[in-house]
């Protein structure tokens, strides 16, 4: 029998530990306000009453097949992973998102386009919204093979589905607000080391989407991936203007994002008709492992990440760029717990998605813009990016791996399933 510990052991060792744990757990949250997502995820207000489609897990379903292939005319080369012969594409597309309390049904393109007859859907934002759009177009095309490319002043690209008189298009507006590079001499900011500034008019939407107010019945906004120093380095920083005058003292990037969001959301609320169904897609997570995109960051995984277990998993090390060849990929071991990849308090290369989301959610509070929280479900899918299969010879050497956009067919197809379910629900309930 194990001897009973003497009472003094409890008093001098165990009790202080309990007190410390208590203090730690009560005080810690005060210091980690910016990383509230590391706490158990708070239930979001569901925008459909049936269940929360954003919480769940990925399961394999080998019967599942993508609805389109590499011949879809709306592909962008860099995301056309079938054509670029990315490894394990059938594996990547064998995963199905299963929400905790219900099934997510796959979109029926015929039924959906029937529902959307004489209506238009617009995406506004950065290339991750374009990634979303391409998936949507390729899926909808199943129901209307005569779908054709559609272009208009201001709209970057899209498609028209003649059978149903539906247009689905994308407006590139990476910051949503208007911005422009101003060379050094014409700026009031004549500081050392500046090559010029990127002037951002926080209260003026960029021209690419300024004229669309009455055209769309459904809109999906996003911004996020351009709010970083790799897009706007310190030599040509973002400088924020309001009512034509520089905001002083100058705002940092995150504060700039906040004022831009507040102003763009106010603009949307004021100018767009009430009956326009408005969504905001939260950040699409990146999966650079071992470094940023320009530091050999890599995402050569075979399977989705898992949430709770902390077990080592096989990760394929990227051989020296650009001499890669798939056959020499070497397995290394990495931990797979989601928060290690994404929690801002880990200060890793993927932390910004959760950080930006809390800023965006704050800006959308008390508006009629519905939140599409596709971040969490996408966080698992470190296996589903184009990685080194970019369809261009020197792309990896020049740009690094793409662990940010998504292979198509792939994860955005699930985004389409979810979005279409919300659109249907919004139309049916008015």
Ligand X SMILES: *[C@@H]1O[C@H](CO)[C@@H](O)[C@H](O)[C@H]1NC(C)=O
Q: Which residues bind ligand X (CB under 6 A)?
A: 87-88, 91, 118, 120, 165, 291, 295-296, 302, 320-321
Pair type for strands 95-99 and 196-205: unpaired
Closer to ligand X by CB, 16 or 331: give it. 331
The gap between the terminal CA atoms of the chain, to the nearest Å, is 70
Cα separations (Å) of 34 from 50, 288, 357, 361?
Answer: 31, 21, 10, 13
Q: Are 75 and 134 in contact (CB under 8 A)?
A: yes
Q: Are 413 and 135 in contact (CB under 8 A)?
A: yes
Closer to ligand X by CB, 296 or 367: give it. 296
Closest approach, Cβ 329 to ligand X, in A, equals 8
Pair type for strands 120-125 and 218-221: parallel
Closer to ligand X by CB, 120 or 206: give it. 120
Residue 412: what are its φ and ψ, rounded to 5°? -60, -20
DSSP count for the chain of H helices, then E strands: 12, 15
Closest approach, Cβ 292 to ligand X, in A, equals 8
Closest approach, Cβ 321 to ligand X, in A, equals 6
Length of the chain: 430
Closest approach, Cβ 314 to ligand X, in A, equals 8
Closer to ligand X by CB, 29 or 291: give it. 291
Closer to ligand X by CB, 185 or 325: give it. 325
Pair type for strands 155-161 and 166-172: antiparallel
Closer to ligand X by CB, 105 or 347: give it. 347
Question: Rounded to an integer, what distance in angstroms lies between the CA atom of residue 298 and that of residue 304?
Answer: 15
Closest approach, Cβ 322 to ligand X, in A, equals 9
Closest approach, Cβ 167 to ligand X, in A, equals 7
């Amino acid at each position: 029998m194990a001897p009973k510990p003497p009472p003094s052991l409890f008093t001098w060792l165990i009790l202080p530990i309990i007190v410390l744990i208590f203090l730690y757990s009560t005080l810690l949250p005060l210091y980690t306000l910016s990383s509230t997502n590391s706490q158990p995820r708070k239930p979001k207000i569901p925008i459909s009453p049936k269940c929360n489609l954003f919480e769940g897990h990925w399961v394999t379903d080998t019967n599942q097949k993508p609805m389109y292939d590499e011949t879809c005319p709306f592909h962008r080369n860099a995301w056309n992973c079938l054509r670029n012969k990315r490894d394990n594409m059938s594996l990547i597309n064998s995963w199905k998102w299963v929400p905790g309390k219900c099934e997510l049904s796959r979109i029926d393109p015929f039924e959906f386009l029937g529902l959307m007859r004489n209506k238009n859907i617009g995406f506004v934002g950065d290339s991750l919204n374009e990634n979303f759009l391409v998936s949507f177009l390729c899926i909808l095309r199943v129901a209307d093979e005569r779908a054709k490319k559609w272009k208009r002043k201001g709209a970057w690209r899209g498609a028209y589905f003649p059978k149903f008189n539906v247009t689905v298009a994308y407006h590139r507006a990476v910051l949503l607000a208007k911005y422009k590079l101003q060379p050094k001499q014409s700026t009031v900011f004549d500081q050392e080391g500046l090559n010029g500034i990127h002037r951002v008019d926080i209260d003026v939407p960029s021209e690419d989407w300024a004229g669309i107010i009455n055209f769309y019945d459904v809109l999906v906004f996003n911004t996020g991936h351009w709010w970083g120093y790799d897009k706007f380095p310190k030599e040509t920083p973002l400088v924020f203007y309001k009512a034509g005058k520089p905001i002083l003292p100058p705002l940092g990037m995150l504060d700039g994002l906040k004022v831009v969001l507040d102003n763009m959301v106010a603009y949307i609320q004021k100018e767009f008709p009430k009956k326009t169904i408005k969504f905001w897609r939260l950040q699409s997570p990146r999966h650079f492992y071992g470094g940023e995109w320009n530091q050999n960051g890599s995402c050569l995984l075979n399977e989705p990440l898992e949430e709770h277990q902390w077990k080592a998993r096989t990760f394929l090390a990227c051989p020296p760029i650009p001499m890669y060849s798939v056959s020499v990929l070497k397995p290394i071991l990495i931990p797979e717990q989601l928060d290690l990849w994404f929690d801002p308090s880990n200060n890793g290369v993927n932390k910004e998605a959760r950080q930006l989301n809390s800023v965006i959610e704050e800006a959308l509070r008390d508006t009629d813009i519905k939140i599409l929280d596709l971040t969490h479900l996408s966080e698992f899918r470190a296996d589903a990016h184009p990685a080194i299969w970019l369809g261009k010879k020197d792309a990896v050497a020049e740009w690094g791996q793409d662990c940010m956009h998504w292979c198509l067919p792939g994860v955005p197809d699930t985004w389409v399933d979810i979005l279409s379910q919300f659109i249907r629900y919004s139309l049916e309930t008015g």
